Amino acid sequence: MEPFFALMHVVMTIVTFTRANETTCVLQGQPVYPQLWKDGDIILGGVFSFHSSWEVRQLTYSITPPPLKCISLNCRDFQYAQSMLFAIEEINNSSTLLPGVKLGYKVYDTCGSMAMAVRVTMALANGHENTTSNESCTKQGYVQAILGDTTSSACMAMAKSIGPFKLPMISHYATCECLGDKIKYPSFLRTITSDYYQSRALAELVRHFGWTWVGAIRTDDDYGNTGMATFTKVAEQMGICLEYSLPFFRTYPEDKVLRIIEQIKSSTSRVIVGFLVHWDLEVLLHKFVEHNITGFQWVGTEGWISDSVIASMDKHHILQGAVGLAIPKNEVTGLKDFILDIKPLKSSGSAIFTELWESLFQCKYSNKNDSSFTTECSGKEELSDMQNTFTDMSLMPIFSNVYKGVYAVAHALHDLLGCTDKCETKKQPDPSTFLKNLRKVHFKTKDGEEVYFDENGEAVAKYEIINWQPGQIKHDEFVSVGLYDASLPVNDRMSVNTASIIWANNKTKVPVSVCSESCPPGTRKAVQKGRPVCCYDCIPCTEGEISNMTDSVTCLRCHEDFWSNRKKDGCVKKETEYLSYEEIMGILLTTISIVGAFITMLVAVIFFRYKNTPIVKANNSELSFLLLFSLMLCFLCSLTFIGRPTEWSCMLRHTAFGITFVLCISCVLGKTIVVLMAFKATLPGSNVMKWFGPVQQRLSVLGFTLIQVLICILWLTTTPPFPFKNINYFKERIILECNVGSALGFWAVLGYVGFLALWCFILAFLARKLPDNFNEAKFITFSMLIFCAVWIAFIPAYVSSPGKFTVAVEIFAILASSFGLLFCIFLPKCYVILLKPEKNSKRHMMGK
């Protein structure tokens, strides 16, 4: 019902209209009277909730709202009022600050009502205690500044009412970020930090402990709703998710409260962020006890985290282990003794003094007829013998804020009134000028604390991090475990001694509150469909990707030269693959190549040893030696394909292979042509041999070879072969190979070799049945048949072989074709030379 009555009172309390350029106030409602007052040269106003609640008296229908009956005495605001009075008395007794000027005060009670707060604010602004008036509202403000109120909602209504008059208002406890809007609240200042910083500090505190899945309960007013909205926004940016965010107000109906309780009981998060005022938390604690809701880790705001009243009420330890942000401890010398000496209140407000006295000592004065108390007040009772809310000084930082607010007003007045040894005037400054000067004050209190306002009229953001730990007294102790200073760089703002914190249920280990467990390195987070981002599955990274930190949202692909390890949490250099001399296949092929070259050399030695024999002479010994030399080069050129590819080896291997094989085939082709020409020359009248004598044979070999050399030169000068890292064939390893550069050049070299081999095969095939005892054309035919078969089979094998096997296939083709030529052409001759010498005669060779 609070919002309804507040709205009704605000609407019906103030009505303004304009007539002949003069603003007239019509304040509807019952008269309001100050609870504490004292005359002075300049008056300061105070607005506090001496009663925390109110009820509406039942009256017959009236155009004016019904009067409020204040109930539930609130000792805290008496302490705030006492702090204000202490500062004023101290200033009045000072010889250096406002010398000769006496400050007075008028303090009103709002009874926790926003409507009443507006009414007393207007009374302070215009000096009209009778709230129905037709007098002009354009006169200068009655008070110089207003101190109060405690709640943000009340301050919003008050500041908006007096904003047009530029009457300064300084709050000691209203933290709502919304009050920083200088367009709506141009005359509002505060000596407490804005929730703009508190909400962010609260989110950083939650993140610091690794809680990403939390619940939240907020007071359903401007303080709670605005603060929680900022917290939610910042928390989302920090990767924190809210499982629920529930509003609560102390006047909520039972069914609405039960829904909140059920939501909390069914939740999976173990941390509750309480953006609450102490009045609402008091009610909520009773509900938690009633429904046995315990074991949650609470995170609190300055609204309740250092409130001893809440701690003393928490007999079931629901809030034990709570951590939160509190205003840093600050002592004001002499303030505690002044607050506890309540007798001076009697001189400035006898009625409220009597009520406070009776409440503190649970007694009644004799002129009161009330059967609820049997003890009669003597007026000599001592507070030192008692322990209650009023004697508790745990909120000394808030009392200090009131004290600083009064001193800020005094320092602004001191400058405006031209005070040195004595103030030049006692005249109240213009509100607009005074407000401008008030924003610029910068001073130190007697205890050395620096006081000033920023551009928005805010205090500097500093918080103490408090932990509720079991103590020796009746309630938990508030232990400082860290600090938060918004003036420092972002990474240095918060310092927390986590080891000294005692958590909920007396645990020493930080509670865990996450929707999903952290994803280890090697995995990434995948958000679960339809759920907050804090609820996710851990998906292993794919091959070639890694995540090297916890809770990674993506997997990073390794550089092309690297591959993911088995755990997928790091990249390792890929294995490089090429046909090396150290592996078995390389050793085997190298051995075969050397053996082939050695056999070729041995054959050459045999031919040289028997060069004058008929079989060597009959087979063109010059071309035979050249053929053996080229075959030896063919065997050796296969070695250039083994080993790590380099720029030179890539160019050498293909060109050496192409040229040596053309030289070899050219020799075979020359021998084949010689055989054909020789038998043509035996025909009567034929002189064909003179056209293909030794000189022509040498020129033909040279000519065929030069064509291949020219092709190779063109290939190397345009797009030569080069070493290449093939990362596409195998993802987990790199194949080091030689890229042919120009495919046209590569296939031109092979094609030319194939063309000569085919031509040679055809000619040899035609001469295979010539009549002689040792027809070399037959063996050439077999050798070319083997050669062509090998290279025809090589093409598909070369294209389909992976990695180093491509090179192995090419080497095998070179060796197989070389051995085919060597054995088919020279083995039969060696057989005759060494084992059948009787056939190595001219008669036998000329038998047919």
Q: Identify residue 290 by its one-letter amino acid code.
A: E
Percent of the chain predicted with pLDDT > 90: 38
- What is the Cα–Cα distance from 276 to 271, expressed in whole angstroms? 15
- pLDDT in the model for residue 390: 86
| pLDDT higher than 50, residue 17 | no
Q: What one-letter code names the amino acid at 250?
A: R
Write out pLDDT tens, residues 149-197: 988 989 999 999 999 989 999 999 998 989 999 999 999 999 999 988 8
Listed in sequence order, the residues at least 6 apart from 772 whose beta carbon sits closer than 8 Å to its beta carbon are 845, 847, 848
Please state, in angstroms and rounded to a whole number, the distance separating the CA atoms of residues 735 and 473: 76
CA torsion sign for 525, 528, 529, 534 is negative
The domain 196-326: what is its CATH number? 3.40.50.2300
Select the more confidently predicted residue: 44 or 278: 44
Position 514 pLDDT exceeds 80: yes
804-835 helix and 776-800 helix, angle to the nearest 10 degrees = 170
3-state secondary structure of 387: coil
| pLDDT score recorded for residue 695 | 72
Q: pLDDT confidence of 18, banded at 50, 70, 90?
A: very low
For 552-582, the pLDDT digits (tens) are: 889 999 988 899 999 999 999 988 888 888 8
Backbone φ, ψ for residue 741 (5° rounding): 75, -100
Average the pLDDT over each of 211-220, 225-234, 249-258, 620-629 and give the range with the smallest value. 620-629
What number does CATH give the domain 584-682+703-845? 1.20.1070.10
Residue type, 712: C
Q: What is the mean pLDDT of residues 125-152?
A: 73
Confidence at 620, pLDDT banded by 50, 70, 90: low
DSSP letters for 487-500: TS-GGGSEEE-GGG
Q: How far apart are CA 490 and CA 771, in angstroms?
A: 103
Predicted local distance difference test score (pLDDT) of residue 413: 94
Whole-number Cα distances in Å, 823 to 423, 817, 818, 826: 127, 10, 9, 6
β-strands 145-148, 169-171 pairing: parallel
| Contact (Cβ atoms closer than 8 angstroms) between residue 793 and residue 569 | no
The whole-number pLDDT of residue 666 equals 85
What mean pLDDT do residues 436-440 have? 94
Query: Domain spans of the chain?
Result: 2-193+333-452, 196-326, 523-573, 584-682+703-845
pLDDT digits (tens, 9 = 90+) for 531-552: 888 899 999 999 989 998 988 8
pLDDT at 658 (0 to 100): 86
Q: What is the mean pLDDT of residues 658-682?
A: 75
Mean pLDDT check: name the lowest of 400-414, 678-692, 788-802: 678-692
pLDDT at residue 638, as a whole number: 87
Is residue 687 pLDDT above 60, yes or no?
Answer: no
More confident residue, 690 or 305: 305
Give me the pLDDT at residue 581, please: 87
Question: Above 50 in pLDDT, residue 16?
Answer: no
Q: What is the mean pLDDT of residues 200-211?
A: 93
Whole-number pLDDT of residue 766: 75
The domain made up of 2-193+333-452 has a fold known as Rossmann fold (3.40.50)
Which residues lie below 8 Å from residue 180, measured CB to CB, with a gap of 6+?
A: 194, 196, 456, 457, 458
Does the pLDDT at position 14 exceed 50?
no
The helix (run of H) or strand (run of E) holding residue 415 is helix 396-416
Mean pLDDT of 670-698: 62
Q: Which whole-number Å values give the CA distances from 829 to 506, 819, 825, in the listed order?
A: 102, 15, 8
**pLDDT band at residue 767 under the 50/70/90 scheme:** low
Q: Is 601 helix (H, G, I), strand (E, B) or coil?
A: helix
Nearest to 310 by CA among 389, 200, 229, 199: 389
- DSSP 3-state assignment of 808? helix
Neighbours of 837 (CB within 10 A): 12
The confidence band for 53, taking pLDDT boundaries of 50, 70 and 90, is confident
pLDDT, the chain, mean: 84
Amino acid letter, 254: E
- Look at residue 845 and tell me whether its pLDDT is greater than 90: no
Instruction: Name the nearest CA neighbour of 542 among 561, 518, 526.
Output: 526
Residue 773: pLDDT over 60: no
Residue 806 to residue 577: CA distance in whole angstroms: 12
Query: pLDDT digits over 443-491, tens only?
Result: 999 999 999 998 888 988 899 999 999 887 677 889 999 999 988 888 8
Is there a common fold for 196-326 and 584-682+703-845? no
First-to-last alpha carbon distance for the chain, in angstroms, is 135
Assess whether pLDDT exceeds 60 at residue 328: yes
Phi and psi based region of residue 587 (left: phi greater than 0; alpha: psi -120 to 50; beta: remaining): alpha
pTM of the predicted model, to two decimals?
0.63
Q: Residue 383: its pLDDT value, please?
A: 80
- CA 805 – CA 577 distance, rounded (Å): 10
Tell whether the model's pLDDT for residue 7 goes beyond 50. no
Residue 537 confidence (pLDDT): 93
Predicted pLDDT of residue 691: 56
Q: Which residues pair with 463 in a beta bridge?
A: 484
Residue 8 has a pLDDT of: 39
Secondary element (H or E) of residue 16 = strand 14-19
Task: Map residue 42 onto helix, strand or coil.
Answer: strand
| CB 479, CB 494: distance < 8 Å | no
Q: Lowest mean pLDDT: which of 361-365, 491-495, 677-681?
A: 677-681
The model's confidence at residue 68, banded by pLDDT at 50, 70 and 90, is confident
Average pLDDT over residues 310-321: 90
pLDDT more than 70, % of the chain: 86
Tell me the per-residue pLDDT of 700-748, one tens digit each, with 9 for 90 and over.
888 888 998 999 999 988 888 888 888 877 888 888 888 888 888 888 8
CA distance 697 to 622: 10
Mean pLDDT check: name the lowest of 57-61, 297-301, 446-450: 57-61
- DSSP assignment of 621-645: HHHHHHHHHHHHHHHHHGGGGSSS-
Residue 620 region, left (φ>0) first, then alpha (ψ -120 to 50), else beta?
Answer: left
Give me the pLDDT at residue 101, please: 93
